[in-house]
Structure 1
Amino acid sequence: MIDNDKPQDQAAEDQLQDVTEESPDNGGDESSEDALGETLAALQRDLEAAKQEILYAQAETQNVRRRLEREKDEARAYAATGFARDILSVADNLARAVQAIPESLRTDDSLKGLVTGLEATQRELEKVFASHGITRIAAMGLPLDPNQHQAMLEVPSNEVEPGTIVQELQSGWMIKDRLLRAAMVAVAKKPD
């Protein structure tokens, strides 16, 4: 009888000893030796099969551990994705507000503090984005990249090559190496 608490090698030896003790001593009878050899061979096959199963189980455990570690790293790196997408509209509105301020109001002493505060808020927001791996996609003057840019319209132009971005309608953003939002752009085309 095999004791489940013992290692498999020890259990196999105990089983072999039980078989040798139970078999009557026939003075070296050949059939007894054959039975003993068959039992030994069967135990060795079982032992090899058990070793293989253990190796497969260990490999599977290691694969699961690696996969979970990778998923944990990705979850940590991209945890802010949903929030970042939501806050981009706030950043867009702030940028539009700063751009909409006419130069005459920028120099007006009564509004100078407000303008400075809006610009400082915009810089701080971009700094927070950068600290979380959220970066703006370059667009102006570059060829259209369908992985980062979304062409919204074509503009006839002789000044630049067709397919070159001539206007950014909405900024695009990346979070680390993933696209957060494609830049909406206008691209040049040959005039008719």
Structure 2
Amino acid sequence: MTEDEKPEAKPDAKSDHKPELEKDARAEAGPSADTASPDEAQDATSESSEPAQEEVAEPSLEDRLAETNDQLLRALAELENTRRRADRDRAEALKYGAASFARDMLGVADNLQRALGAVAELDQETLPDAAKSLLEGVAATERDLIASLGRHKVQPLSPMGEKFDPNQHEAMFEAPGTGQPAGTIIEVIETGYVMDERLLRPAKVGIAKDD
């Protein structure tokens, strides 16, 4: 057999299937990082930058100074208000500190006035000298007590004939047919007192009523 008549070499079956196997392997593996789409790359970039955006910025020196100055002004204002309240309370204590004591002394003044009123109905000329001296002593005591109360700005209320004022008077009864306008005080049953415009005790009165 001559060289020209040598049989032709048959192609290897294994080499024919290699390209197809490599293609199938790439299809199963899916797209690699090198072949990622532009949208996927942008999403990855934005996710990596989110933690940096969530960080809170530190306040500046000017902001901290402004906040400190505001707190200082508020503290000074509160201190001034406290001082004013203390001054007002001290002034009221000095002004009305004796109000409770003065209110208690009103009962003593009432008893002295009742005693003098009861004796006034008697004939002074028929009284013995001892009774006259006692009566003069009671009258002097009543005058001194009223004067002492007056020095502490305690003044009696004498509303006879005045218009009834519920802020200063206490109505005990109403009487029709008095010839006075309704609401006029026609009788003072118990004297009232004020202390420097503050009511210590209302006056107990009787008032006129419409017919």
* TM-score (structure 1 length as normaliser): 0.74
Unaligned 5+ runs, structure 2: 1-56
What residue number does 1:43 align with? 61
1:177 to 170, 175, 197: 197
Q: Name 2:16's counterpart in structure 1.
A: none
Of 62-71 and 44-53, the range deviating more from structure 2: 44-53
For 1:113 and 1:158, how far apart are their aligned partners in 2? 40
Q: How many pairs are equivalent? A: 153
Cα deviation, residue 86, structure 1: 1.6
Q: Output the CA distance in 1 between the equivalents of 2:142 and 2:87.
A: 36
Name the CA distance, whole Å, in 2 between partners of 1:152 and 1:53. Answer: 58
Per-residue deviation, residues 7-64 of structure 1 (Å, max 9, x unmatched): xxxxxxxxxxxxxxxxxxxxxxxxxxxxxxx98x711211121111111111110000
Measured after TM superposition, the shift of residue 157 of structure 1 is 2.9
Cα distance change on mapping 1:159 and 1:178 into 2, 3 Å: same
User: Which residue is 1:148 aligned to?
Assistant: 168
Query: Which digits, 9 at most, give the CA deviation of each residue in 1:68-123, with x for residues without a partner?
Result: 11011111111112222221111101000011113423674603322221111111
d(CA) in 2 for partners of 1:106 and 1:79?
45
Query: Under a length normalisation based on structure 2, what TM-score does the superposition of the two structures give?
Result: 0.67
- Counterpart contact for 1:164–1:188, Cα < 8 Å: yes
2:185 aligned with 1:165? yes
Summarize the Cα distance change of 1:104–1:161 in structure 2 as closer, same or farther, 3 Å threshold.
Answer: same
Tell me which amino acid in the other structure corresponds to 2:133.
G
**5+ unaligned residues in a row in structure 1: which ranges?**
1-37
Q: Which has the larger radius of gyration?
A: 2
* Aligned residues with identical type, % of pairs: 39
